[in-house]
Structure 1
Amino acid sequence: MAGFWLGSRAVTRGYRLNGFDSVGSTSTEAARAAQAGDSGDVWFCALQQTAGRGRRGRPWQSPNGNLAASLLVVPDVDPAIAATLGFVAGVSLNQALAGIVPASMLKTGIDGADMANGRIALKWPNDVLADGAKLAGILLEAHKRPDGSMAIVIGIGVNVVEAPDGLPYPATSLRALGLDTSAETVFGALSDAWVDAVELWDRGRGVTQVLELWRRSAAGIGAEVAVNRDGDTVRGIFETIDEGGRLIVRANDNSRIAITAGDVHFGTTASVRN
């Protein structure tokens, strides 16, 4: 069986763990738990998924040895606040990687990081890039529990040993970056980093601080960007992320456009849909 483990801080906070060698989808397992009335704070992890999914129902390929992890939480907050848990997950994953990869490879506020040229950075709304290629993805799903309360499933996939083939966008893996680690090691670091970030978030009261950490780790702020959203494309300069987590684009006519959802592309990838 897969040898996943929780970090010490996650254990202390009472998080639980279900580990699999292979599973259809860790997020499906988490959703079933939510619909059965689970109280949350439980991880579902696998070394391989056979029916993983990404944004908008797109398939998420997870070859053997990569990390597929889904966390079930019951946050008891307004849905708009719950949506910012995606940024908590991004900050968590970046912090977890900080304990695994050389600091010079990270674009983050962590001491020793290369703020200007870090090779690993967060991409709005839910990706982690390495050298401009997709290293990891994050997906939030909402589910109703039997008592009518809302549960959130936070799915996180990390290309640890292999990037899937045949994708319409560049992808890479930690191994391709020269890092010899395991899905279990990445998850152990992630489980503790999540505790730190979600406690900072504090049921939405600390979302401003979380978003600031996210911005400091972001790819492309100040760069030209194209955002594909439901058939039209917004072009301009990626100005910032606002306090609601929306991407703000400074358009060519100098107007500021707030983007709530869409596929973001920088430079020569602007015509690619991922």
Structure 2
Amino acid sequence: MSADLTFGPVPQAPGFRFERHASLPSTNSTAMAAARAGQASGLWVLADVQTQGRGRRGRNWVSPAGNLFASVLLIDPGPRERIGELPLVAAVALAEAVDTAVGAFGLARLKWPNDLLVGGAKLSGILLEAEPLADGHLAVVCGFGVNCASHPEPENYPATDLASLGYRVEAGTMFRCLSASVASRLDNWRKDGFEPARRAWLERALKLGETITVRLPEEDLIGYFRDIDPRGQLVLELPGGKRRIVSAGDVFFGARSEG
């Protein structure tokens, strides 16, 4: 076993365990490889640095030391038709973990489906990936990247980090808060369904009732952000009153694609 690896149970999340690496190409890729190799559900993979971190739609995720890079492996976390709810459940769990870590309720707001923003600047990203395994089970990996100590300067949107906001939160502290919050929200999701997480998500929603642009592969939709439906999909009211349900797309604020 590599000398740069530590592992063990997650005290604040019974039933979960972790392995921590000094450097990995991607915590998501490592967690999914562990699933293919037969690892059981509940494994957290952490890295001090990622060299090939990924965001949604294959975008690069800048991953310097001091920030949190963590992915959790879940095997058959729930009914397959409900897996699309998990990105929003994860976003609520992360937002609540940030609150706990900084001691300030409601610091982060949510941009559909699962970006955390503070003052309009991106604090974190979440990437959920699923893959059927050879034995018929479904492996789901949910990766979290949280800007604790620093942030990149992307061209297309503003970003921020907890240190810049005046909060000194080490990556280890952020992980302890996150692992407890994820365990709690998953348990709640399994027992009580999606509605509690949906309500919690909407309480933090950015631009609810306002004009947004949703970029799809074949078109841009401009309309009012009306709701999140019981499956976690975005409900957009188009000009003229017709409603469009969006299951996947990039959201921009305002009528222009800048946000």
- Matches for 1:225-244 after TM superposition, within 5 Å: 225-244=212-231
1:13-53 per-residue CA deviation (whole Å, 9 max, x = no partner) reads 22010112221100011010011111110000112111011
Aligned with 2:186: secondary structure? helix
- Matches for 1:103-118 after TM superposition, within 5 Å: 103=104, 106=106
- Matches for 1:129-148 after TM superposition, within 5 Å: 129-148=117-136
Match of 2:235 in 1: 248
Q: 1:198 to 1:267 in 2, by over 3 A?
A: same
Aligned with 1:22: secondary structure? strand
Q: 1:128 to 1:89 in 2, by over 3 A?
A: same
Q: 1:209 to 1:235 in 2, by over 3 A?
A: same
Q: Does 1:210 align with 2:213?
A: no
How far the C-alpha of 1:7 sits from its partner, in A, is 5.5
How far the C-alpha of 1:220 sits from its partner, in A, is 1.4
How far the C-alpha of 1:165 sits from its partner, in A, is 2.8
Q: Which has the higher contact order (CA 8 A, sep 6+)?
A: 1
Q: 1:4 to 1:76 in 2, by over 3 A?
A: closer
Q: Is the 8 A contact 1:29 1:44 kept in 2?
A: yes
Aligned with 1:83: secondary structure? helix
How far the C-alpha of 1:146 sits from its partner, in A, is 3.1
Q: Which amino acid aligns with 1:63?
A: P
Partner Cα distance (2:63, 2:205) in 1: 24
Aligned with 1:169: secondary structure? coil
Aligned partner (choices 194, 210, 220) of residue 182 of structure 2: 194
Q: When the two structures are superposed, what TM-score results if normalisation uses the length of structure 1?
A: 0.87
Partner Cα distance (1:198, 1:76) in 2: 8
Q: 1:58 to 1:215 in 2, by over 3 A?
A: same
Q: Which amino acid aligns with 2:164?
A: A
Match of 2:79 in 1: 78
- Matches for 1:141-160 after TM superposition, within 5 Å: 141-160=129-148
> Which stretches of structure 1, 4 residues or more, deviate above 6 A after TM superposition?
2-6
Q: 1:217 to 1:211 in 2, by over 3 A?
A: same
How far the C-alpha of 1:3 sits from its partner, in A, is 8.2
Q: Is the 8 A contact 1:4 1:188 kept in 2?
A: no
- Matches for 1:170-181 after TM superposition, within 5 Å: 170-181=158-169
Match of 1:88 in 2: 89
Partner Cα distance (2:44, 2:240) in 1: 46
Q: When the two structures are superposed, what TM-score results if normalisation uses the length of structure 2?
A: 0.92
Partner Cα distance (2:218, 2:230) in 1: 26
RMSD of the TM alignment (CA)?
Answer: 2.0
Q: Percent identity?
A: 38
How far the C-alpha of 1:185 sits from its partner, in A, is 0.5
Q: Is the 8 A contact 1:46 1:69 kept in 2?
A: yes
Q: Is the 8 A contact 2:236 2:243 kept in 1?
A: yes
Q: 1:3 to 1:159 in 2, by over 3 A?
A: farther
Larger strand share, 1 or 2: 2
Q: Is the 8 A contact 2:236 2:246 kept in 1?
A: yes
* Length, aligned pairs only: 256
How far the C-alpha of 1:101 sits from its partner, in A, is 2.3
Match of 1:271 in 2: 257
Q: Which amino acid aligns with 2:257?
A: S
Partner Cα distance (1:42, 1:7) in 2: 9
Match of 1:128 in 2: 116
Partner Cα distance (1:238, 1:41) in 2: 35
Q: Is the 8 A contact 1:3 1:184 kept in 2?
A: no
